[in-house]
Amino acid sequence: MNRFQPGVRRHLNPTRLLSAIAALVVLAACGGSTPTTGGLGSGPLLVGVLAPFSGADASFGPRYLAGCYAAALSINGAGGVGGRQVSCQEFDTRGEPADAVPAANAMISGNSNLMGVVGCTSDEASTVVPILDRSHIPMTCMTGQSEFNKTNFTYFHRLVPPDSFDAYAMIGSALFGPGHAPYKNIALVFGDDIGSQTFVGPAVAALNKLGVNIAINQAIHLGASSYRTEVQKMLLTHPDVILTETIGSAGTYLGEVKQLNGGKMIPFIGTSATIDPVWFKQVVTAIGLTDFEANYTAVDLALSLSGPGYDEFVTQLTAADAKYSGSQALTYKGKSPTVHLYDGIILDALAMVAANSSDPTVYNPKIFTIANGVPGATVVNTFADGVAALKAGKSIRYVGAAGENNFNQWNNSQQGYNLVTMDKNGNEVVIGQLTQAQTQQIIDAGGNA
């Protein structure tokens, strides 16, 4: 006979427990309202900034948010979208896909007035892009992943080049750049993170096909406190040039290169992401301004960072900096993502006005048309100008803060590449260009994966 009996034990009724859970879930998910039909509708509009605001890439979110603030101020200052005021809200993906899914779903569930989304970096794009696309939300994404080079997601837009193209442009700079003979011995130094991985594969493929010698292909662990042995190893292969990105560790690595090479710096070519005040500061602190100026080049989309579109952006960014005191918006005025995402939001807004609809299935195709323009389109540089031209019955092409955009059939915006450097204040300076033929040669070698 079993004398063992459980002591005081309350049995939790599973059914009750599950009903309670279900109730909680239902409560949490509520927040929708009816969609508008035809016309621009009424009430405030929201742009979601879906990006990392915590975790390893926490510095990304604020720079995208700043671009959104500037765009919102520009739009609202011109009367809003059909009178509807635009505001921005951050939705933290925590920099990883598993947290990004509830963030995206919570954002959509809780806000029926989303006019567009910006952000979606390579940390989370693979999971959130399908979610946003199925909810018909136009997005301007920052991810450089090759999987989006030929995407079928019609609401996906990318104004920055895929990482593979950056890699090709860097090779182009090494082979065809101004001021030096073609480099023969190339060192690849990239981090082991997602953002860097997407450069190396295409770069290696292209270099091998073109018959250029890869001195060393080195992956370093970003954020480590020193790379002296790695640097020494690299130096022993005697490269002519180093192709690199290594966000966050560039100062450490390049500083040690200079140190261990007896004070002599090796030329280095950076990706478009290195054209960034923080990268500039880190590397200049490590190797000094003179060596930086003499040895650094980078590649970038033909980004102008000047002109009436950019001026409007800077004006609004300054206003945003004052209005949202914690945002430090003005520090991002030279940052490519901030500028590009600003343009993305202006495009969304102009598309809504042009289509005279708040229904994304109607205005999403207009984004393409307004960015690329049709023959005879009036060029406009600000939201206000665009609205005025549309009112006068004209078709428009928005050439914004980052300059022209040219979407291809997969909503990837491509144009030629500039070879650039940064002046003593960290401002971008164009020093050359790759021709179409040169770019094509490298793309053909590396493959448009």
Only segment of 321-329, 342-350, 403-411, 415-423 that touches other proteins (CB under 8 A): 321-329
Within 55-84, the residues that bind other proteins by CB under 8 A are 55-56, 58-59, 61-62, 65
Is residue 330 part of the contact set for other proteins (CB under 8 A)? no
- Torsion sign across C-alpha atoms 236, 240, 246, 247: positive
| From 78, 106, 210, 379, residue interacting with other proteins (rule: CB under 8 A) | 106
Rounded CA-CA distance 331/317 in Å is 9
Per CB under 8 A, does 224 bind other proteins?
Answer: yes
Buried b or exposed e, range 356-365, using 16+ CB within 10 angstroms: ebbbbeebbe
Q: Say whether residue 179 binds other proteins (CB under 8 A).
A: no
Q: Is 123 in the site for other proteins (CB under 8 A)?
A: yes
End-to-end alpha-carbon separation of the chain, Å? Answer: 72
Query: Is 19 an interacting residue with respect to other proteins (CB under 8 A)?
Result: no
Q: Is 197 in the site for other proteins (CB under 8 A)?
A: yes
Is 233 near other proteins (CB under 8 A)? Answer: yes
Q: Which of 40, 81, 108, 242 is the binder for other proteins (CB under 8 A)?
A: 108
Residues 125, 119 contacting (CB under 8 angstroms): no
**C-alpha span between 22 and 374 (Å, rounded):** 52
Given 45, 114, 131, 303, the residue binding other proteins (CB under 8 A): 131
Contact positions with other proteins (CB under 8 A) in 258-297: 259-260, 262-263, 278, 282, 285-286
Q: Is 253 exposed, middle or buried (0-12, 13-18, 19+ CB in 10 A)?
A: buried
Q: Which of 23, 98, 294, 322 binds other proteins (CB under 8 A)?
A: 98
Q: Where are the beta strands (DSSP E) in 27-124?
A: 45-51, 86-92, 114-119
Which one of residues 127, 173, 297, 382 is an interface residue with other proteins (CB under 8 A)? 127
Helix (H, G, I), strand (E, B) or coil at 379: strand
User: Residue 413: beta bridge partners?
Assistant: 407
In the chain, the amino acid numbered 261 is N
Q: Which is nearer to other proteins, 434 or 442 (CB)?
A: 442
Please work out the total of residues on this chain that contact other proteins, with binding judged by CB under 8 A.
Answer: 102
Instruction: Give me the 347-386 binding string for other proteins, x by CB under 8 A, dash otherwise.
Output: ----------------------------------------
In 99-255 the beta strands, taken as DSSP E runs, fall at 114-119, 139-141, 156-158, 185-191, 213-220, 241-244
Q: Among 19, 39, 134, 356, which residue interacts with other proteins (rule: CB under 8 A)?
A: 134
Binding to other proteins (CB under 8 A) within 26-45 occurs at: 26, 28-32
**Of these, 15, 152, 225, 425, which contacts other proteins (CB under 8 A)?**
225
Tokens for 125, please give them. Answer: 């794009």
For 55, the token pair is: 């975790």
